[in-house]
Structure 1
Amino acid sequence: MVGIEIGKYVVNPFTLFIEPVEYDKKLYSRIVEEEVEFISPFNPIQNIKHSCSYYGCDYESKRKGTKLLIDYSRKLPIVIEPINGIYAFCTASPYNVNCYWFFLNQIKDYRRISAKQIVVIFHNGYSQTFPISYNSFHSQFAKVLTLQNNLLQRVEHSRKKMFYLEKKPESPKASESNEFYSKDSKNSKDSKE
């Protein structure tokens, strides 16, 4: 096995993908970042779950959040860390031994090589062929874009609302002074006595 051996891995803005690899009859993860590669004795979904927890929310909650934002129920993409825009998507059921995880912010392009192979080109110039059908990858890529778009629209809506509330004009004041009414009420009391 090639790469730096580590324990559980935390996804970050430099993560390109997490690939399942079998080693000694056990499923490991090969994790490729922009400048370095790691091997983790934990499978991909374990590393994804650990990353979600690291950023303060469990994996199942991330999945539920995705369901609220997009109308899908299988092979859901997730927002691992929204501040740095870390959106992840899987290529199969997350518990499938052939499930790869990709990170939206790192993908520059992808192309069909054959019926069951694609090449993914990353922003740092690295590219790799994966045993994934183009249609499957394209479908998952579209889902994660939808997730990102819907979340960003909601954030923008909240920002506009906050801006409006902070900048809203003061309520108009009556042009007449309330002194006039208070004097009148005093005078009317005097006249009744």
Structure 2
Amino acid sequence: MYNDFYTPTYEITPMTMAVIVQHGDNGKSARFILEEDFEYVVDHSPTKIIDSACKFFGASLKGRQDGTRDICGLTHKAPISIDPSSGMYFFPTCSPANPKCSWIAHSHIDQINKATNHRTEIIFKNGKQIILDVSFGSMLNQVQRTAQYRYLLDNRIKFLQKHKADMVAEPLP
């Protein structure tokens, strides 16, 4: 875990369901990390926390977004894999540059439903529910885009694992 002024000290794990921003009626916002069994209030933005998690696994958020673009052509609101080997695929609810952006873990979603006022309810596999200020159509699109990205990246990884013995580098003459 990191421990300096600019880096979040919270570590994203396979049990992390979402990193969200909730805006109150008073104009103030709160940032939460939803785990399967706990909820944490955090000081950093969700995008900063996601970037830190990517760096923990040897990349940056920008690098992960570039990888998504190269694999499946997605350039806006691109889903990312923080760590494909542990199934940590997240997608943003809006532009990651937007302070209202939350990040949702694809593998924890059980269902999404329309909510009032053009919002969306997410029901996680453990039964927890959240309502976000994102349209149902946009959320459904993000879930589907993440599934497509996951499929393509997982197939690349499986191909490499299957052909690992054939791909051992040979010394140059």
TM tier, shorter chain? 0.7 to 0.9
More helix by share: 1
Match of 1:61 among 55, 58, 63: 63
Structure 1 stretches of 5 or more lacking a match? 1-6, 167-193
Correspondence 1:142 to 2:148: no
1:162 & 1:21 partners in 2: Cα distance? 45
Normalization by structure 2: what TM-score? 0.83
Cα-Cα RMSD: 2.2
Give the unaligned 5+ runs of structure 2: 1-7, 168-173
| Residues 75 and 92 in structure 1, CA contact (< 8 A), matched pair in contact too | yes
Residue 78 in structure 1 maps to residue 80 in structure 2: yes
Q: Which residue of 2 aligns with 1:47?
A: 49
The match for 2:37 is 35
Task: Provide, for residues 73-120 of structure 1, a one-character-per-residue CA deviation record: whole Å limited to 9, x for no partner.
Answer: 101111001110100100100021221110011111111123511111
- SS of 2:62's partner is helix
Distance in structure 1 (CA, Å) of the matches to 2:133 and 2:55: 29
Structure 2 SS opposite 1:99: coil
Query: In the alignment, which residue of structure 2 is the partner of 1:104?
Result: 106
| Percent identical | 25
Counterpart residue identity of residue 154, structure 1: R
- Structure 2: how far apart are the matches of 1:106 and 1:142? 14
Q: How many residue pairs were aligned?
A: 159
Tell me the residue number matched to 1:90: 92
SS at match of 1:83: helix
Partner of 1:20: 21
Q: TM-score, normalised by structure 1?
A: 0.75
